[in-house]
């Protein structure tokens, strides 16, 4: 066992977090152990504690890095001087790209967040609810401006988010289109279905 291998773009802590996300996705947070994580990054388990305090801290970092990215993107999209359809398309492209390029982290934040400890659990749940409400508000604005069909906005948000989380099966597929084609196909289907 030696030192954690890094490159010019990533710190040792970032390597640990990325490896933890992959391990948590593969085994689940509860089943994954710090010993297994140490094996993956190539150090003794005790050496991990020079960089992080606990397995729970790793889950907290992974979940909130994703959640904060979502909220920052939502802030930017809401501030754009564009119509609701364009805002929804921009938001969906961001979500799809995240699932394609940062799959492990997004998967863990979407599936394993329930293992967060308090007060982080309540905070994370609040951020999830707020994100969905803000997404629904964009749809409602589009309905009011007659840019979007008259639909139930919270239901539309659930359907759109479930469609994006379905990219999980694309990752498992042996024969698949590339990420950019996947994004364009999804935008055509999902955004096209909302337009008035």
In the chain the domains, ranked by start, together with CATH numbers, are 12-48 (1.10.10.60), 55-192 (1.10.357.10)
Give me the residues paired with residue 195 across strands: 148
pLDDT by residue (tens digit) across 166-186? Answer: 888 888 777 678 889 999 999
What pLDDT shows up at residue 53?
Answer: 86
Q: What is the pTM of this model?
A: 0.88
What pLDDT shows up at residue 45?
Answer: 73
Which single residue is written with the structure tokens 């069909």?
149
CA dihedral sign, ordered 165, 154, 137, 86:
positive
Tokens of 39: 């094996």
C-alpha 87: how far from chain center: 18
CA dihedral sign, ordered 144, 146, 150, 155:
negative
Question: How many other C-beta atoms lie within 10 A of the C-beta of residue 45?
Answer: 14
What pLDDT shows up at residue 3?
Answer: 55
Per-residue pLDDT in tens (0 to 9) along the chain, 196 residues: 455 555 556 677 888 899 999 999 999 999 999 899 988 887 777 778 878 888 999 999 999 999 999 999 999 999 999 999 999 999 999 999 999 999 999 999 999 999 999 999 999 999 999 999 999 999 999 999 999 999 999 999 999 999 999 888 888 777 678 889 999 999 998 998 888 7
Structure-derived torsion over alpha carbons of residues 175, 178, 184, 189, reported in degrees to the nearest 10:
20
**What CA–CA distance (Å, rounded) separates 57 from 17?**
10
Tokens of 56: 């729970």
What pLDDT shows up at residue 48?
Answer: 80
**What CA–CA distance (Å, rounded) separates 144 from 136?**
12
> Percent of the chain, pLDDT > 90?
69
- Quick one: how many helices (H) and strands (E) in the chain? 10, 0
Structure-derived torsion over alpha carbons of residues 96, 105, 129, 30, reported in degrees to the nearest 10:
140
What pLDDT shows up at residue 106?
Answer: 95
**What CA–CA distance (Å, rounded) separates 111 from 93?**
21
Q: Which of 93, 68, 89, 87 is nearest to 137 (CA)?
A: 87
């Amino acid at each position: 066992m030696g030192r954690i291998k890094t490159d010019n773009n990533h710190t040792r802590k970032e390597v640990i977090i990325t490896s933890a996300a992959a391990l948590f996705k593969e085994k689940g947070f509860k089943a994954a152990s710090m010993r297994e994580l140490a094996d993956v990054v190539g150090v003794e388990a005790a050496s991990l504690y020079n960089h992080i305090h606990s397995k729970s801290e790793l889950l907290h970092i992974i979940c909130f890095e994703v959640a904060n990215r979502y909220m920052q993107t939502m802030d930017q999209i809401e501030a754009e001087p564009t119509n609701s359809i364009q805002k929804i398309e921009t938001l969906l492209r961001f979500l799809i790209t995240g699932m394609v390029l940062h799959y492990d982290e997004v998967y863990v934040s979407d599936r394993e967040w329930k293992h967060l400890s308090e007060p982080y659990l309540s905070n994370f749940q609040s951020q999830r609810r707020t994100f969905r409400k803000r997404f629904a508000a964009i749809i409602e604005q589009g309905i009011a401006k007659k840019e979007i069909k008259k639909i139930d906005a919270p239901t539309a948000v659930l359907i759109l988010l479930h469609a994006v989380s379905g990219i999980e099966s694309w990752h498992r597929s042996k024969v698949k289109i590339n990420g950019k084609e996947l994004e364009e196909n999804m935008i055509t289907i999902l955004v096209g279905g909302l337009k008035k």
